[in-house]
A = this chain, B = another copy of it.
């Protein structure tokens, strides 16, 4: 009963090894990260996923750091920039954008960590920068100050995601929290009067949403009230 027609589909069972491309590599890398964490996104593991050898990846990616940067750029396209053009108070809209950015990194803390070191420079990142500049302009922040401010805001958001996220998923997260809590509780009122007075409850009190929103508020208020130091001349270099 073997029908005469040879199956049109490829000889192999697997959906035909797709050609290697930079884009395909980055996509696979994001998938592996999603499934197994950034720790597992190694050249070797990724090559295995793509059914090739690790050396082959070096045709498309210079090194591991560059791979991480490319992954981040892909994720940054998901930042919700709609508040930039929405109506309403510019501060609230700015906080919304910052929250969207932070939330994306929050669940990929290891990637946030790499963003701290290898600064992204793709179009998705530039769009976020542009959006924040627009919001600061809405708030009347002078352009020169905005240039510094956008960096400050994104840097803070990135590093917070790194810190919080990794701590949440660290193997000894509990141990470390305990270590700090024990240290704080054991702080003698003689040596550390203020720490003792506040107690661990206050000092460890949730880095929850309230606290991050407060921190964004601090930054925005501070930016509004702190001019850049005067340059020697008013004309640019």
- Chain A residues engaging chain B, CB cutoff 8 angstroms: 65, 113, 116-119, 121-123, 126-127, 129-130, 133-134, 137, 143-144, 146-152, 155-156, 158-160, 162-163, 166-167, 170, 172, 176, 179-180, 182-184, 187, 191-195, 197-198, 201-203, 205, 207, 210-211, 213-215, 217-223, 225-226, 228-229, 236-237
A121 to B167, CA, bound (A): 14
Interface of A, secondary structure class, is helix
Which residues of the partner chain B approach A195 to less than 8 Å between Cβ atoms? Answer: 126, 129-130, 133
Residue pair A133, B194 in contact (C-beta under 8 Å): yes
Closest chain-B Cβ to A64's Cβ sits at a distance in Å of 12
Closest chain-B Cβ to A146's Cβ sits at a distance in Å of 8
A191 to B144, CA, bound (A): 20
A149 to B223, CA, bound (A): 16
Closest chain-B Cβ to A22's Cβ sits at a distance in Å of 15
